[in-house]
Amino acid sequence: MPQTRNTPTFEPLIDSREIWGTTLFDGAAAQRGYALNKMCFSFNDAANRAAFLRDEDAYCRSFGLDDEQREAVRRRDVLAMIAAGGNIYYLAKLAGIFGFNVQDVGAQQTGVSVEEFRARLSAAGG
């Protein structure tokens, strides 16, 4: 992570290194996660959200999710869904079914309580 505090300018960086805690949703991820993301895209329709809730695993299978993706969905494990190719904008539609917002999702991924996650966000304004 770059040192950014109290520096007046931000020079372009060298491109090759990893960015901590970050997965780029690139072609490989888009291919890996296609079925999972396609299922989540279907949740734009309320009838599909209801169908998912009636029988989650059957709904996942109908979109061809593999074992790793189905298990990640079953456990509501966002990091595992991302590792299996999930894109956060599509996963947000799945999270919405359970009434989770982006602070809930952020707290889960960072391993803190929602209150602590919100406090971190507020601290960024200091």
Partner 1 sequence: MARIIGGIGTSHIPAIGLAMARKQFEEPYWKPFFDAYRPVRAWLEAERPTVAVVVYNDHGLNFFLDKMPTFAIGAANEYRNSDEGWGLPTLRPFPGNAAMSWHLIESLAAADFDLTTCQEMLVDHGFVVPMQLLWPDAAAWPVRVIPIHVNTVQHPLPSPARCLKFGQVLGQAIESWPANDRVVVLGTGGLSHQLDGRRAGFINKPFDLYCLEKIVDEPELLARYSIRDLIAYAGTQGPELVQWLIMRGALGSGVRRLESNYHVPISNTGSGMLLLEKAA
Q: How far is the CB of 10 from partner 1 (least distance, A)?
A: 6
String of DSSP letters for the chain: ----TT-S--PPPPTTS--TT-----HHHHHHTHHHHHHHHHTTSHHHHHHHHH-HHHHHHHTT--HHHHHHHHTT-HHHHHHTT--HHHHHHHHHHTT--HHHHHHHHHTS-HHHHHHHHHHTT-
Q: For residue 51, state whether it binds partner 1 (rule: CB under 8 A).
A: no
Residues between 100 and 119 that touch partner 1 (CB under 8 A): 101-103, 105-106, 109-110, 117-118
Q: According to the binding rule CB under 8 A, does residue 54 interact with partner 1?
A: no
Query: How far, in Å, are 67, 96, 122 from residue 70 at the CA level?
Result: 5, 18, 35
Contact 105, 111 (CB under 8 A): no
Shortest spacing between CB 46 and partner 1, in angstroms: 6
Work out whether 23 is an interface residue with partner 1 (CB under 8 A).
Answer: yes
Interface map 68-87 toward partner 1 (x if CB under 8 A): ----------xx--x----x
* Shortest CB 117 distance to partner 1, Å: 6
Binding site for partner 1 (CB under 8 A): 1-2, 4-10, 12-13, 15, 19-27, 30, 34, 37-38, 40-41, 43-46, 49, 78-79, 82, 87-93, 95-97, 101-103, 105-106, 109-110, 117-118, 120-122, 124-125
